[in-house]
Structure 1
Amino acid sequence: MAYNMRSVFATKSYEEHRTKRKYWYALDIITHLMLGPDHCTRSVDHAGTERDILMELKHLQFLNLLQLYFAAFYTYLRADAKLEAWCQQRALSHEYITAGIHDNINAAEATVAVTATYLIWRLTESPQWQRKIRGEIETMWLREDSSLSFLDVNDKVPSLEACLREVHRLYPASSGRAERIVPKGGHTLTGVFVPEGTIVATSVLALKSRDAQLVPFGHGGRLCLGKALAAMEIKLLIARLYLNYKMVMTDSFTAESMKQCSTHDAVPKVLNYVVKFQRVGKEF
């Protein structure tokens, strides 16, 4: 853990970052819809009404008990009704849909690449798993355009699912630190009392590589919004490759060179490696 320490990625002092973090609604995938122009890819030109509504809800969460005794004066209810009305009375514009898609694709670019890199590497070391995955894929029908159906790949290739989960556990696609601010009143963490307002950080790699719990995409309100898209991209890529090819090891890398760097995207030290593709079976 780290207390009130400046982030290695920080361009401002921790006091300024603490102030900013009070207005964050997402950790893994940040969109303009939630955070406005200062914390996103700026796919949408202007901050929307919903940001103000969510700000009201966030500021007044600590007043939940007032709902029972002073409902008439409870601002949270007004904000809640305002959010409900906003959601029901307006259509979802193409601008917002495009912004959400862009942010998910851009945010997942490096993490998908890292996961695919380690999955291919470990499968290259294990030809028996390549054959098992290929055998399951070969039982599926190709679509008219010679592509594979994601529904089929997702449902009928359990070996790929198992290998992907193990790679998620061994090589989390994001590193860095997960930072939180201790709420009012403080909190006792592993026997240590942490005062309110303290920034607490822990290693993402340590959190996500535990045997007992597999949460590579976060959980609950912190669940990565791009989880489904990332899984689809990786599974279709691997299925397509291993249906037609087998991968063979080269001497361009070692286990040491493939160790993850403690960077935000947790890339391997070697940054690139070479595997040989050998065609198997019939061509498309």
Structure 2
Amino acid sequence: MAFADVDGVRLFYTDDTDDAGDGAPGSVLLLVHGWGSDSHEWSHHIPALRKKHRVIAVDLRGHGHSSCRDTGNVPRRMAADLAELLAGLGTGPVVAVGHSMGGQVVSHLAVEHPGTVRALVAVDPGYGFGGPVAANFPAMVAALRGGDANAVAVGIDQWSYTPATPPLLREWHRRRTLATPPHVLVEAFEEMFAVPGAIGVRPHSDDFLARRDCPVLSFWFDPGQAAWESGLFKDPRSRTVVWEGSGHRLHEERPAEFLLVVNKWLKALAGARA
């Protein structure tokens, strides 16, 4: 267990490995959780990943065991926190893995902090929304600002699940969302989806994500979203994976399959680099 002081906040993170790795593209992994969650969502994956990789899992500012500030608890600043953390740990370029809001955070890291990200894995990321979904974001922000933000956030989170989602997973995330400071929930959600230029919605997503020049592996349950993102990839080793019927937290619903796909992709990247 460790904490790092970054920009006036104290970040909780773990740094684990059972094997030092071989210097290949997958040797250092950075795991980044989603909105209203924390690094415990990677508990399904860390024991297997640390057998071959150095694995850093962090609670973003305002989430889990990390502190926050009165303002500035937004994805772009969270990415800057991670860049400073990685520099302090001396990791060199990492494979950054981000779920939901974490997909935005690691994309900011890749674009705005050159040299920190070697490859990127985005898990049902919080970007690229359009149509009725995007049109409803301002009303969601108004609800978060106008009432009990934690209760509203729990309500918003219900879209994440399917009838097949384990009840334990629903309850775990409900409790994590209720424990997140309300102003952090509001700030982060609004910055993702409702401020001018927010990269959670199109076309701003397209312009920003096209600046990622590293290999990207993205997981989606919506084939339309996967097809859209595949048109933005710059590196030929990038690919999308579609798991129709899964919920938003597909990596937690299907952890063994998720690890199988990620490790196979990382191995292919290592082979291409050799």
TM-score range, shorter-chain basis?
under 0.3
Instruction: Flag the structure with higher strand content.
Output: 2
Greater Cα radius of gyration, structure 1 or 2: 1
TM-score, normalised to structure 1, is 0.20
Instruction: Flag the structure with higher helix content.
Output: 1
TM-score, normalised to structure 2, is 0.21
